[in-house]
Chain A
Amino acid sequence: MKDEDKPLLTIRGLHTLFHTLDGTVNAVDGVDLDVYLGETLGLVGESGCGKSVTALSILQLLRCPPAEIQGRILFKGINLLDLGREGIRKVRGNSISMIFQEPMTSLNPVLTIGEQIAEAIVLHQGADRREAWERAVEMLQMVQIPEPRARARDYPHKLSGGMRQRAMIAMALSCHPQLLLADEPSTALDVTIQAQIMNLVVLLKKEFDTSIVLITHNLGLIAEMASRVVVMYAGKVVEEAPVQDLFKEPLHPYTQGLLGSIPWIGRKLKTGRRQLQEIPGVVPSPLEMPKGCRFHPRCPRVMDICCEQEPPFVRLAEHRRVSCWLEAE
C-alpha cells in the first residue's frame, strides 16, 4: 500500500436520501471513507446495503430529485458536491471513471465500440475524431481485445460478455482516470472470464497508477485484489480493516457472518466445527430501520444495549475501526 499523507478521495458524513412516496429512505447513512493513491479499496456488503449508491453518489449519477446527497466528497481536496452540473461532468470519465455490473446492457447497441470509447476522449481531451479513434483502438489493444482495429468498428452485439466488459474498461480508462469505481465488474461473467477481467484490471491499475474502489460481495475477489476493506451494512460502515486483518480476525459479527458463509471445498453443510454458516434474516427495509445497532435483529451476539443505542466507532489502529458494542466495552 502506497500511503501518502493525503488521501486521493475522502468521504465524510455522506448521506444519500431518496424521497419516495412512502417516505424518505436513507440509502447511505453517514459513510466516512478514504481512498489513497494507488490502492484498491474493497467495499463489501449484502445486496441493498448502499455500496452502489455510495459509488453513484461520488459521481452524482443519481437523479436529484428523488435523490439528495449530503456531506463532503473531497477529491484531491475539492468537494465534488460543490462543483455543480458542468463541473462534475468534467470529472466524470476524466479523473474518476466507473465500470458497471452488466456488460451486456452498458454499451449502446446503435454505436460501434470504437465510437463509444472515442466519445470520452473527444469530450475530455479535446482530441479530434480521428485522433480519438486511434486512441480508442489503442485502448482496445491494452484491454487485450484481439484485432482491435476491426473490433472498434463492430457493434456491441457482436461481442461476448467478457469482450464487452473489456470494452467498458477501455472506455472507463481511456482518459487515464486517477480513480476507478468498479461496481461488481465481474459479477455477470462466468468464472474463467472473471479471473481474466480481474487480472486485466490489476495490470491496468499498475500501468496507469489508478486507485480503485472495488464494490463486490465476492469476498474471494476482495482477498485477491484489495489492500483495505470497508464493510457496509444497511447504509452504514460497520468495519474497516486492512485485508489480512479482516480475514484473520473479523471483529464485527456481521463480518464474521459474511466470512463464515463462504462455501469452500471440505466445509460441511451440516453440523461440525467447520460448518457453513448463514446470517439469519434479511437486510432490514430502509423505511423501517431497527433502533440501536442496525444489525441487532440478526446478530448472534446481541446484547441489551445493542437494541437501544447505536454503537460508536472504535478505532483500534490506523485503518482499523469497527462499530460494535462488543468492542466498545
Chain B
Amino acid sequence: MTEKEGHIKYAGQFRRSWAKLKRNRAALFGGVLLLAYLFTALFAPLLYPGNPSAPNLIKSLERPSLEHLLGTDELGRSIMGRIIYGSRVSLLIAVGVIAVGLLVGVPLGLVSGYYRGKVDFIIQRVTDTMLAFPGFLLALALVAVLGVGLKNTVISIGISMVPIYIRLVRGCTLSVREEVYVEAARAVGTQDRGILLRHILPNVMIPITIQTSLGMGMAILFAAGLGFLGIGVQPPTPEWGAMLGSGRVYLFCSPHVATFPGIAIFLAVLGFNLLGDGLRDALDPRFRI
C-alpha cells in the first residue's frame, strides 16, 4: 500500500462506515426508533406528568380516548403512561443486562482465548454447558433460583448473556493474538495485562459493539417474557411484559390493554436489531467493498 492510499483509507475509516450506515434505510429506521425510545425513557415525567401506578377503578378498561390516548387497563391506569414509564424499566434492564454480560463475558473471553490451555478448557466447558440451554430457559432457571424482582431479572438475563460474549470475544482473541504486532509487543516486554487491554481488546471492539446492540434487543425481549410469566419485574412497577401478561385476560373485550405494550416491545426490539444488523454491515470489514 502506498502512502497515498493510506490517506484515503484513513479519511474514510469512520466516514465510510457512517456513509454506509446512512445508506442503509433499515438501520436508520432502527436508529430513529431507538432515539424515540431513549427520549421517552429520559423525559418520561415530562411526557406523562401523573403517577402511572396509581389506580383509578372508576375508569377501568376504557377504550382509547382523548383523555387516555391508549385507553386504560383493568385498574384504570393510563396505558400510555405505563408504556412511557415502562420504557425506563426496560432500558434499565437492557443496560444492566449488557453490563453484566460485558463485565463478566469479555474478560473471561479474553483470558480464555489468550492463555489457551487449561484455563481455556475449563471456561469453554462451562460455556458449552450454558449454551446447551436455550437462552430464555437459562434465564428462567436462574430466576427460579434467585427469585423475582428487577435486580434478579437483570442478573439472570445477564448471566444467560455471558456465554455469548465469552464465545465471541474468545474467537476474536484467538485470531488477534497471532498477529505480528502482538508478538512485537511481547518482544518489547509488554506484560500480559497490557497486551490484553491495549493490544487485543481494542481490536475486538467492533464485534462486541455489534453484539451489544443485538443483545439489548434480546434483553428487552427476555425481560418482557419473564414479566409476561409473572416472574420478572413485579407490579406495580410498569413493565411492558407484565402489562402484556395482565392484559391477556381482557384480550377479547378490551384488546388494547395487551396490544399497545406488545407494540412497544416489538418496536424497541426491532430498533435494536435493525441497528445491530446495520452496524454489522457497516463495520464488518468482510462486507466492505
Interface residues of A (CB under 8 A from B): 59, 61, 89-94, 97-98, 100, 102, 104-111, 116, 119-120, 123-124, 155, 157-161, 163, 168, 171-172, 174
Contact = CB atoms under 8 A, between A and B. Distances in A.
B14 interface: no
Contacts of B190: 93, 119-120, 123
Contact of A61 (B10, B181, B187, B191): B187
A155 B188 contact: no
Given A105-B180, A106-B184, A108-B199, A159 B189 contact: no
A214 to B, nearest CB: 16
B7 A158 contact: yes
Given A105-B181, A110-B203, A93 B187 contact: yes
A171 B6 contact: no
B183 interface: yes
Interface in B1-44: 1-3, 6-7, 9-10
Interface of B: 1-3, 6-7, 9-10, 179-191, 194, 198-199, 202-203
B3 A171 contact: no
Given A97-B187, A98-B184, 10 more contacts: A93-B187, A106-B180, A109-B203, A111-B198, A119-B190, A124-B189, A155-B10, A159-B3, A161-B1, A174-B188
A29 to B, nearest CB: 23
Contacts of B198: 108, 111, 119
Given A100-B180, A102-B180, A120 B10 contact: no
Contacts, number: 88
A274 B189 CA distance: 48
A157 B4 CA distance: 10
B3 A172 contact: no
Is the contact region of chain B dominated by helix, strand, or loop, or is it mixed? helix
Contacts of A97: 187-188
Nearest to B199: A108
Nearest to A101: B180
A119 B3 contact: no
Contacts of B186: 61, 92
Contact of A171 (B184, B202, B203): B184
B183 A158 contact: no
A90 B180 contact: no
Nearest to A104: B1
Given A61-B183, A155-B10, A171-B184, A93 B3 contact: no
12 contacts: A59-B187, A89-B189, A90-B189, A100-B183, A100-B187, A104-B1, A109-B203, A123-B189, A123-B191, A157-B6, A168-B184, A172-B187
A159 B188 contact: no
Given A108-B199, A108-B203, A93 B188 contact: yes
Nearest to A86: B191
A289 to B, nearest CB: 27
Contacts of B9: 157
A157 B183 CA distance: 18
A160 B6 CA distance: 8
Nearest to B181: A108
A2 B234 CA distance: 82
Nearest to A59: B187
B184 A158 contact: no
Contacts of A108: 181-182, 185, 198-199, 202-203
Contacts of A111: 198-199, 202
Contacts of B180: 100, 102, 105-106
A94 to B, nearest CB: 6
B188 A106 contact: no
A171 B189 contact: no
